[in-house]
Amino acid sequence: MSTMNDSLVIARRNLIRMTRIPEMVLFGLVQPVMFVVLFTYVFGGSMKIGNSTDPDVYKNFLMAGIFAQTVTFATAGAGAGIAEDMHKGLIDRFRSLPMARGAVLTGRTFADLVQTTLTLVVLAVVALIVGWRPGSADSTNIGKILGGFGLLLLLGYAFTWIGALIGLSVRTPEAATSGGLIWLFPVTFISNAFVDSSQMTPWLRHIAEWNPFSATVQACRQLFGDPGLSQSGAWPMQHPVWASLIYSALIIVVFRTLAVRKYRSATA
């Protein structure tokens, strides 16, 4: 109970800080909106989903990938925030206080989860404005749609723990930002997020279909009733909801353990 109370105090501190620096939230919203507009109107007419090159089909195919990319890109912000606290000596100050060891990192990830939720809400509205229509390819309902967004938030929360570990492992916020983004590009682009993985070469398709990121995208397309579900024998593509839950839980357990261990020994 003490750990939870301490975590909520730290989360509140980070949320207050976000309200005092609104440009942080604003810039976090602009980037995913730009991706929606660029991929929809620039690439939409040249993409083939199944046997269709209809831009409207690609638009509905794309949104699950954009949502998933957005929640994972929050990793860089989490890492930079923790690296900045380290650089200013704030982490050392927290460690001198009688509070649970994991509370600082847990509170930080809770605050990032709130920001990610806000970003997803805004992005969903933008997606509806540009023409995303849940249920365009298969039946769905409000429960399934909320379930899809729940999986996205779980994936985003899991990835913030990777960001926390990166933030504790580098010396400057700039390094944390770069280190938090570099590896995300192959993870998000070697996947089924932006193209139909059946059009990839066999070895690349195999990587994409076992990519944890792809499992969440496939699960969201299934729950949203969007087109472009991968027809594959790979287990994560056949059971995407379970695969998404298992992948996210494993990432949280592994990287939370590593981050808390690093927090105990890290110095500014």
Give the C-alpha separation, 68 to 232, whole Å. 20
Q: pLDDT for 90-118, tens place per residue?
A: 777 777 777 777 788 888 888 888 888 98
Encode pLDDT of 149-182 as tens digits. Answer: 999 999 999 999 998 899 888 878 888 877 778 8
pTM over 0.85: yes
- A 10 A CB-CB count for 266 gives 16
Q: What are phi and psi of 25, to 5 degrees?
A: -70, -40
10 Å Cβ neighbour count for 224? Answer: 25
CB atoms within 10 A of CB 219: 27
Q: Where are the domains of the chain?
A: 3-267
What confidence tens digit (pLDDT) does each residue in 224-257 have?
999 988 888 899 999 999 999 999 999 999 999 9
DSSP class of 131: T
